[in-house]
Amino acid sequence: MKSFDLKGTSRQVKAEGGKQAVKAVRAAGNIPCILYANGGVTATFQVAVNDVRKLVYTPEIFSVNLDIDGKKYTAIMQDLQFHPVKDTILHIDFLEVGDSKPVTIKVPVKPVGHAAGVKAGGKLIQNVRRLAVKAIYTDVPECLEINVEELGLNKSIQVKDLSFDKLTLLDNPQNVVLTVKPTRAAIAAMQQAAKAGK
């Protein structure tokens, strides 16, 4: 997993007038954030919108080297809230990570190889873009590579067919990750072949 350096500044969360304070944070071009650890809040802080663009608007996953007023933490991005209309970032939750406690994170799926079914005229369909895994953060890869070379026409790879070293897959075992479906041209060719064989 790649790492990402991010600086933040502490902010005070008040029971009264909290919404106005959050609006002021956003109006200044910042995003309110919370860092969680061990089921509780470790820090409330803010980061500049421009500082997180490469962290948020990417299919890649990162461990985040957080610097909040000089205090250092290692974390992963746990949750993002977007404005329903403007699609701007409203809030980010981070989770502090360590070398001994497993975390849950969604990792991009990457098909590898040229599927046999594609060679036969089919089309590879990727039903799942990310899979949820549980692991020590240092064991989490940048992506989950799945070899599809032996995947034939009308064949699928389900979550239960996969295994990765030091990772526990959390998605439904029956979920289809990848499948090869015949194209119209391939179906027509198979029908022609069937007719010729009669």
CATH assignment at residue 181: 2.170.120.20
Whether residue 81 sits in one domain with residue 34: yes
Predicted local confidence at residue 18, as pLDDT: 63
Q: Are 83 and 90 in contact (CB under 8 A)?
A: yes
Predicted local confidence at residue 198, as pLDDT: 57
pLDDT in tens for each of the 198 residues of the chain?
Answer: 899 999 999 987 654 456 788 888 888 889 999 999 887 899 999 999 999 999 998 888 999 999 999 999 999 999 999 988 888 899 999 999 988 889 999 999 999 999 999 998 899 999 999 999 999 999 999 999 999 999 999 999 999 999 999 999 999 999 999 999 988 776 677 677 777 765
Domain boundary among 97, 124, 154: 97
Domain boundary among 47, 75, 97: 97
Predicted local confidence at residue 6, as pLDDT: 97
Whether residue 161 sits in one domain with residue 85: no
Predicted local confidence at residue 16, as pLDDT: 47
Whether residue 108 sits in one domain with residue 93: no
State the Cα angle at 123 between 119 and 126, rounded to 5°: 125
Whether residue 70 sits in one domain with residue 117: no
Whether residue 114 sits in one domain with residue 87: no
Predicted local confidence at residue 48, as pLDDT: 94
Question: Domain range holding 59?
Answer: 2-97
